[in-house]
Structure 1
């Protein structure tokens, strides 16, 4: 790795942070500490992006599952309504047919009575 010398001005709290980081990680040079801090920051961002992607994927799968269950529920409801409408229509047609038969029967009966007279 090629290193480049830089002149940097830092606030006192940042300087204290870097010095404590150097002691904690047994580093001798400020540049190494800053480089390592930057590398850790970059890795943390990648982990955060990865975790966000995982959350988005999980939420997407949950939404997809919910939509699929809703579609099945709606489809089953529509099939049930369709069967009820079919039964009701068949029942109405049967009633109409029975009424027509009864009317024809009455007409036929009256014709027979007229014929007998």
Structure 2
């Protein structure tokens, strides 16, 4: 890795932070400490970004699963309603047919009575 010399002015608290970081990580050069801090920061951002992407992916999958369950539920309910409507329609048609047969029978009986007289 190619290095480039820079002159940097830092606030005292930043300088103290870098010096404590150097002691903690046994580093001799300020540039190495700053470079490592930047690298760690970059990795932390990448992990956070990956974490957000993973969360979004999981959330999206959960929503898709819920929608699939809801579609299946609605499909079952519509089939159930369709069967009930068919049954109700058949029953109604049967009642109309029975009523029609009964009326025709009454009409036929009255015609026979009139014919017999």
TM range (shorter): over 0.9
Q: What TM-score does the superposition give when structure 1 sets the normalisation length?
A: 0.98
1:37-73 CA deviation, whole Å, 9 max, x = no partner?
Answer: 0001111111111111110111011000000011111
Q: Could you say which residue in structure 2 is the equivalent of 1:109?
A: 109
Detail structure 1 runs of 4+ shifted over 2 Å in the superposition.
none
Structure 1 distance, partners of 2:51, 2:87, is 54
Gaps of at least 5 residues in structure 1 are: none
Q: Could you say which residue in structure 1 is the equivalent of 2:14?
A: 14
Structure 1 distance, partners of 2:42, 2:17, is 18
Gaps of at least 5 residues in structure 2 are: none
Q: Could you say which residue in structure 2 is the equivalent of 1:38?
A: 38
Structure 2 distance, partners of 1:23, 1:97, is 99
The CA RMSD measured in Å over matched residues stands at: 0.6
Q: What TM-score does the superposition give when structure 2 sets the normalisation length?
A: 0.98
Structure 1 distance, partners of 2:98, 2:57, is 61
Q: Could you say which residue in structure 2 is the equivalent of 1:79?
A: 79
Shift of 1:114: 1.1
1:79-116 CA deviation, whole Å, 9 max, x = no partner?
Answer: 11111111110111001000100000000101111111
